[in-house]
Amino acid sequence: MEMVNIKINGEAISVPSDYTILQAARQAGIDIPTLCYLKGVNEIGACRMCLVEVKGARGLVTACVYPVNEGMEVFTNTEKVRVARKTVLELTLSNHERKCLTCPRNQNCELQRLADELNVTDIAFEGEISKHEIDDMSPSIVRDNNKCILCRRCISTCKKIQTVGVIDAQGRGFATKIGCTFDKSLNETDCVMCGQCIAACPVGALYEKDSTKAVWAALADETKHVVVQTAPAVRVALGEEFGMPIGTRVTGKMATALKKLGFDKVFDTDFAADLTIMEEGTELIGRIKEGGKFPMITSCSPGWVKFCEHNFPDFLDNLSTAKSPHEMYGAIIKSYYAEKEGIDPKDIFVVSVMPCTAKKFESQREELRATGYPDVDAVLTTHELAKMIKEARLDFAKLPDSGFDNPFGEAATGAGVIFGATGGVMEAALRTVSEVLTGKSFDEIEYTAVRGIEGIKEATVTIGDLDVKVAVAHGLGNARALLEKVRSGEADYHFIEIMACPGGCVTGGGQPIQPAKVKAEIDLKAARAKAIYDEDRSLPIRKSHENPFIKMLYDEYLGEPCGHKSHKLLHTHYVKRDKY
């Protein structure tokens, strides 16, 4: 890599020639403020917060897009720079709804933090403020343009990373706003509800649709038996909401907190992940043995499923018919568990704690009512669970560890846990399918070829005398690229795992939001996934088909994987959706 020598604030440093001033400054430990900048996603210099002086340049330049060159001298803290940055921030605030105390991003807002750091103590520019209707028609995402600062991070994420592209800038000058075609609601577009726009937003212009009020009401209703289940990715992110390092595992504290909130039963969705593997794995084995349609594609990511319904309806028959884990669990709770406990299913209220905003949409699908009632009644994001814990005044960091409740109890396996990371569903399936197809037990069960944060991973796995070709994609842009190759005949696989969110569930749209500066320094995908795999290795059982509670469920109730009863309760179908 060619290096260049520059000076920043009089300090001589050597940096790669393809760096921007912002990258060079951060390498030198010098903080330049940003708002619109999001590493690898939105690097457009639109907000002007990163202005710096460059010797010999005409006026101030934007550090996030200005390239370094040999002998450059940069100044980041002159009077001219400080005044310019503060003026830019004051102008941004002049057209911003400043209801900070009631904003969902209060105390976790990049604009609010900058106002404090740059010592903005009053509103220098009072004038007309844009007024917008709040778009809350979506079951997953609320869009409030009154708080939008036009940074365009959401646009770049939706368009470049997810290739969904349902939002863009509209109008000019003071009338500019972020919106959908013909001023439609997000709910009237191809939006897949993934919530990656929420994770990208630096302020409170995008946030998840609130479900906490419905859950609090259910907990207060003495006629309801309220059951909660938690997804594997929640345990490696929830701690961040309470000041713990990124990637801290808080499984035991989370279980304790849920019990203290008043849930009648606290279950682990990892059990249903194992159930998914039994059904999905059996479906794959059936296609291999009987000549089914290939490639078979996973269906546990509702954002991906909706994306497929809009953009790749010709692949709907390729999707596994297995429901996502939390929906399977809801169906089991309202059937097997209800019968076992002698509770009328209508009196059971199932809450899923998920890293995913698309699960809110999924829970309302008419196809997911196996018992005549919704499989899942309410979905909380990781962020919403944290809000409930704080509202209940629980000191999360000091809570003791506890386990999950019976009849499923400590039902987690390592295979269920790794569902939270990209490649995890594939690996969990291979652990089971390899042993069922060969009739042998294997000690080496870590399929590292499908791990990692590369956008698309491909591998050929030898199972007995069969070479199984697999692929993994995370982020819908990567999914689109992979499926276009399959559609054109350029690529050929037996099994594909797709997750809507980059990194998989660990960086879902409902996970704790980290500011752009943290994301530039720490790869959230890798840090949270490491915690997932650490938990996998810590568990005594690491294969879905060896879970004793899974065996019990089939022996006592379901009969066999993909049998008549399990098909009725645990499988579903998909629908072609229009392109708007």
Q: Which residues are catalytic?
A: 280, 283, 300, 320, 359, 362, 367, 505
Residue corresponding to tokens 């909660």:
228
Q: Which of these, 475, 419, 565, 550, lies nearest to 199 by C-alpha position?
A: 475
How many helices (DSSP H) and strands (DSSP E) are in the chain?
Answer: 20, 17
Query: What are the φ and ψ backbone dihedral angles of 402, each rounded to 5 degrees?
Result: -145, 175
300 within 8 A of 276, measured Cβ to Cβ:
yes
Dist. CA 301–CA 497, nearest whole Å = 9
381 within 8 A of 355, measured Cβ to Cβ:
yes
Alpha helices in 29-130 (DSSP H): 79-94, 110-117
Residue corresponding to tokens 């609601």:
185
The tokens for 157 are: 């994420």
What's the DSSP call for residue 244? P
Residue type for position 250: V
Q: Rounded to the nearest 10 degrees, what angle do helices 269-290 and 424-438 cross at?
A: 50
Residue corresponding to tokens 């299913």:
345
The tokens for 475 are: 């982020």
Task: Report CA Rg, the chain.
Answer: 25
Angle at 113 between CA 109 and CA 115, to 5 degrees: 120
Q: Which helix (H) or strand (E) holds 25?
A: helix 21-27
| Residue 85 CA, distance from chain mean position | 33
Dist. CA 240–CA 237, nearest whole Å = 6
The tokens for 255 are: 């279980």
The helix/strand/coil state of 495 is strand
Angle at 515 between CA 501 and CA 32, to 5 degrees: 130
The tokens for 541 are: 């059982």
Dist. CA 152–CA 165, nearest whole Å = 12
